[in-house]
Amino acid sequence: MTVLRIGTRASSLAHAQSTLVATALERALGVDVELVDIRSEGDRSSRPLTEIGGQGVFVGAVREALVDGSVDVVVHSLKDLPTMRDDRVTLAAVPQRGDPRDALVARDGLTLAGLPAGSRIGTGSPRREAQLHALGLGLDVVPIRGNVDTRVRQVLAGELDGVVVARAGLVRLGREAAVTETIDPIQMLPAPGQGALAVEVSATAGPLADDVSVALDHADSRTTTCAERALLRALGAGCSAPVGALAEVAEGDDGLEVWLRGVVVAPDGSHLVRLSASGPVSDPDGVGLRLAQEMLAEGAAGLMQERAS
């Protein structure tokens, strides 16, 4: 293989993320790399994500290009991946994760606490919307679509008082100076997998999967995102459900452990279930499953059904 073809969405953020992967693979494997743009259903539609398929809407077309051999490797934002396994592809690597937290970009350098009641805050995420309501700050949460630059421009143009986006995306685009507050996970838990990338190859790729894994896979990032996605899967939730999760690898009484926090919030923020669990790093799926069972026992399913109705 003289040229490694990397499939990517055409957005600025997707290109920035795929370029990070391309540079690392060029250096590690000694190959030339070409980015191949692929338009997904999420890119073609301006409707809310919850109406056009939710989780996976940015993944399908990119994955199909991998399966049909148009590209050799694809790069996704891990939080966009469906939690159900696709046997046609292999998750070869989860590179070292970026900052998983959400960030506020607001007028006049304001923080969430500094914004006056009634301020218009834009987000396309039911998870962020519900947690913003739960803070009880009296903010007017406005649904928006568009790439990161489009959202930030709405603040600069005075159309919105602020937007909440993933901090890692702003950093990868070189726009971290626009952040007026990095939101503490105590206030707002991020989406499962936020800040992480997923590098997939075809299930029939053979040695390429091992090469990509050795070059890029980061053990702690794979472990933590695995626990978060196991929670999401066991809850039976997708991007239309207001679910937040964040796992960390930390020293426990018996060695390294996965500590996982999760939250499910009613759409209006009036009720929430927020719990945590921990377990061995060798069993992140088990930690996520156990936490999901505990959250369901506390009524999390009813809160997710409120969104569905």
Quickly state the pLDDT bin for 47 (edges 50, 70, 90).
very low
Separation of alpha carbons 262 and 294, rounded Å: 10
pLDDT at residue 116 is higher than 50: yes
Q: What's the number of CA atoms in the CB half-sphere (13 Å) around residue 303? A: 28
pLDDT at residue 286 is higher than 50: yes
Domains and CATH numbers, the chain: 3-95+197-217 (3.40.190.10), 102-182 (3.40.190.10), 224-308 (3.30.160.40)
Residue numbers annotated as active site = 79-80, 127-128, 145, 151, 239
| Pick from 34-38, 153-157, 300-304: least confident | 300-304
Identify the pLDDT of residue 253: 84
pLDDT at residue 236 is higher than 90: no
Quickly state the pLDDT bin for 149 (edges 50, 70, 90).
very high
Q: What is the per-residue pLDDT across 184-229, written as a single tens digit (0 to 9) for each? A: 999 999 999 999 999 999 999 999 999 999 999 999 999 999 999 9
Identify the pLDDT of residue 1: 58
Q: What is the per-residue pLDDT across 85-97, written as a single tens digit (0 to 9) for each? A: 999 999 999 999 9
Q: What is the per-residue pLDDT across 298-308, written as a single tens digit (0 to 9) for each? A: 999 998 876 55
pLDDT at residue 266 is higher than 90: yes
pLDDT at residue 45 is higher than 50: no
Contact between 233 and 219 under an 8 Å Cβ cutoff? The reply is: no
